[in-house]
Structure 1
Amino acid sequence: MDALTALSSREFLAVLAYGVGVERVAVEIESCESNVGKARRFVRRQLDCWRLPEGDDLADRVVLAASELVTNAVLHGRTRPLEEVETVGVALAWKRDFALGVMVTDNSCGVPLAKIRPSVSAISGRGLVLVNALSEGWTAAPHCGQAGVNGKAVWAFFECPHLTPLPELLPQWA
């Protein structure tokens, strides 16, 4: 049984959110469609720092899922008028040899729902279906700030196989 099926979503979330030995990074971006690419680049750069190479299946799935979650937050999570600045949070949590989580926060308390079967001709509505297919699981929970609940957090979880460190370069003998 793998780690994700052995743990409930809550237990899994607890490990990534509060566990020991978890590396975490986060950024806030302005909630607008033109910034979805900024979120993708943030995720990609962090995965590079964690040595998950571009073109790696896990890295590609994480970047695409993060992009879908940020797009959903921008399109459906906005609570202020368009002329007011609003932000979306993007966070990554990685516990080596266990899992990687992507968390996207917005100001809406609306619960995200994946469409069971989006219409073939639909031009939207596939984001969470895609996240579900790319990840080992996803969940949403209220997001609490200093003033209490102020929106939601949507997490996607990815199993991380045992990653072997890159070998040290051996000295070249002349």
Structure 2
Amino acid sequence: MKSPNVSTEPPTRVPQFTVRLSSTGRGARLARRLAVQQLAAWGVPYDSETSRSVALVTAELAANAVTHGRTPGRDFRLTLLLLPEHGAVRVEITDTRPERLPDDQTAEPAALDAPSGRGLLLVAAYAERWGCEARDAYTKTVWAEVGQPT
């Protein structure tokens, strides 16, 4: 007799890619390149809208992690999840500054002559949804889900 708490269905596995990178400009650039390369390995063409959007979102989130979430001597983590049931790719960047959460998602854009401050607006424009969460006392994860055309 089967126990009522045991599932006989295999667990659903989501394709995932995770890598730790140095909290430097080189690490941020590498995050973008690795994201596009992983998408290609999953069958998403390099020149597709999805690939270009994921590259831009990854570049912005990685640059923010290096600029605002850096702790000397600590890396940041890039995680990509292929979410076929949602028709999306989820980009997660985890850094070591949980106290430095991104500004409100509805924040006003930076002044036209400001040298920075528009990165999360780009993320919001290219992602179907995005957010931030401090999962523990030592890290925060900023994530974005980029839709895939069907």
**Smaller-chain TM-score bracket:** 0.7 to 0.9
Matching residue of 1:12: none
1-structure distance, mates of 2:71, 2:40: 33
> Which of 70, 77, 81 is the equivalent residue of 1:78?
70
- 1:116 Cα deviation after fit: 1.3
Runs in 1 of length 4+ with deviation above 4 angstroms?
Answer: none
Offset from partner CA, 1:2-26 (integer Å, 9 cap, x none): xxxxxxxxxxxxxxxxx93311110
2-structure distance, mates of 1:118, 1:39: 25
Offset from partner CA, 1:105-154 (integer Å, 9 cap, x none): 0000111115412111111111101100011111000133xxxx212000
Matching residue of 1:105: 94
Cα separation, partners in 2 of 1:25 and 1:140, compared to 1, 3 Å = same
Identity of aligned residues (%): 32
TM-score normalised per structure 2: 0.84
- Higher mean alpha-carbon deviation, 99-108 vs 114-123, is at 114-123
Matching residue of 1:154: 142
Matching residue of 1:41: 33
User: 1:105, 1:143 within 8 Å by CA — same for their partners in 2?
Assistant: no
2-structure distance, mates of 1:161, 1:41: 21
1-structure distance, mates of 2:47, 2:54: 11
Specify every segment of 5 or more residues in structure 2 that has no aligned partner in the other structure, as ranges. Answer: 1-10
2-structure distance, mates of 1:79, 1:142: 15
Cα separation, partners in 2 of 1:75 and 1:111, compared to 1, 3 Å = same
2-structure distance, mates of 1:27, 1:87: 10
- 1:97 Cα deviation after fit: 4.9
Paired residues in the alignment total 136
TM-score normalised per structure 1: 0.73
1-structure distance, mates of 2:135, 2:115: 29
User: 1:68, 1:131 within 8 Å by CA — same for their partners in 2?
Assistant: yes
- 1:42 Cα deviation after fit: 0.8
Amino acid at match of 2:49: D
RMSD, matched Cα = 1.5
1-structure distance, mates of 2:12, 2:145: 17
User: 1:94, 1:100 within 8 Å by CA — same for their partners in 2?
Assistant: yes
1-structure distance, mates of 2:31, 2:55: 9
